[in-house]
Structure 1
Amino acid sequence: MRRAVAIVEHAIGVGAEAAPSPAVSPPGWWSAYRADFARYREMRPGTTTLVLVLTEQGLWALLQYRAAAGIYRSRLFGPLKRAVLLGAGIAQKLIEMTTGISLPYRARIGPGLYIGHFGNIIVHEDAVIGDTCNISQGVTVGTSGRGSRRGAPVIGNRVYVATNAVVAGRIEVGDDSVVGANSLVTRDVPAGSTVLGVPALIVGHRGSAAYLVPHPGPIQH
């Protein structure tokens, strides 16, 4: 799971207070957004770039998030940074009203995120989401718990979160996992597992690979 966090930090730039490594030049917010766009091209084969830009609300939300997160983690002069972030916060609210997708710039989201459908998607500002993940409509990634257990989730790489799922609390969702539709996840999920239900229980160990590729199309009669 530390690898997921490291990948996210590398993709979106260094932390707010950390200095960049002289040996590694982080690709920055634009490269992360290009990776997002590449996932959309992969998941929507045959769809032109213009159609994706005009019709995929997830791309609108991701563009706003990537730019704002890049500013938040930059070394802009303090007063200027605060002023720009104020504008970014207003833009975020406009995106939320337009798309129903809330991606706060403090959240750490790795490259290649795919949001299959717009609407009622909330990610807490302290959450971490790894690279090449899929999030469906109605998903909440938020805080829960009491005392030392209160916090936001760390979601690994290549995780598929299905419709109306809730992932909450100071928990870790392992790489290559699947969270089934309408599930409530409040405990750690081992890598490669499929969880389902309220509360979510492990129902399989087949991983997420089959969920992270385009569907084969309608059934032929």
Structure 2
Amino acid sequence: MTVFKLITSDYKKYKKYGGHFFAIVFFTQGFWAIFQYRIANGIYRKVHIPLVRPVLLLLCLFWQKMIEVTTGISIPASVQIGHSFYIGHFGGIILNGKAVIGNNCNISQGVTIGVSGLENRRGVPIIGNNVYIGANAIVAGKITIADNVLIGACSLINTDVATNSVMLGVPAIMISDKGAEGYI
């Protein structure tokens, strides 16, 4: 998808949750962060002109830091995020630069998606499609979160998660196989 189509898909998801243009664009910090990310990621992936690329990426880094200070949301340009991404509430959201997040995912405030593990188990999560990550959850390590997963608030995910799982606790355990339907 093009950068414009990705931004449009994100905007439509915010609109689906009841926002209108003025509120989404001017007052929704999650949308600001994802908008900035889409522009920076587009430059990161598509611009390969030797002198232009580093200058544009540096400008995007300053813009990212401004968004990070303003909103508490850190999304590096190198993260891979699919279409229709939604940040429910702003603040305390940290995504590792090597994270991979699928299509149609929602995350809440306080979420960390980061690096963890030792030796060959050290790495960053790969998150599937239609995944909901609740407030203050941590997803860390060289793990795979399958499609249609719901991760409950304040949970720690450090192992692979099967399709349609509902995960809860520290460390999280599967409490249901009803998945994220209804949450996204």
Normalization by structure 2: what TM-score?
Answer: 0.98
**1:126 matched residue in structure 2:** 98
- Uncovered stretches (5+) of structure 1, i.e. residues with no partner: 1-26, 213-221
Q: 1:16-35 to 2 correspondence within 5 Å?
A: 27-35=1-9
Kindly provide the amino acid, as one letter, of the partner of residue 198 in structure 1: V
Equivalent residues in 2 for 1:29-108, closer than 5 Å: 29-44=3-18, 47-108=19-80
Match of 1:202 among 167, 170, 174: 174
Q: Distance in 2 between the 1:108 and 1:115 partners?
A: 15
Query: Please, which runs of 5 or more residues in structure 2 have no aligned partner?
Result: none
Q: Pairwise mapping of residues 177-216 of structure 1 onto structure 2 (< 5 A)? A: 177-212=149-184
1:58-80 C-alpha deviation (Å, 9 max, x unpaired): 11001110000000001431121
In the TM superposition, what are the counterparts of 1:157-176 in structure 2 within 5 Å? 157-176=129-148
**Deviations 1:70-128, CA, capped at 9 Å, x for gaps:** 00001431121011100100110000000000010000000101100000000000000
More strand by share: 2
Q: What is residue 139 of structure 1 aligned with on the other side?
A: 111
Is the partner of 2:14 in helix, strand or coil? helix
Q: Report the RMSD for the aligned CA atoms in angstroms.
A: 0.8
1:152 to 100, 109, 124: 124
Question: Alignment identity in percent?
Answer: 45
Q: Which moved more, 1:172-181 or 1:48-57?
A: 48-57
Q: Deviations over 1:126-148 (max 9, x none)?
A: 00000100000000000000111
Q: Give aligned pairs, total.
A: 184
Report how far residue 30 of structure 1 moved. 1.5
AA of the residue aligned to 1:108: Q
Larger radius of gyration: 1
Deviation at 1:48, TM superposition (A): 2.0
Q: For 2:150 and 2:157, locate their aligned partners in 1 and report how far apart those are by CA, in whole Å.
A: 11
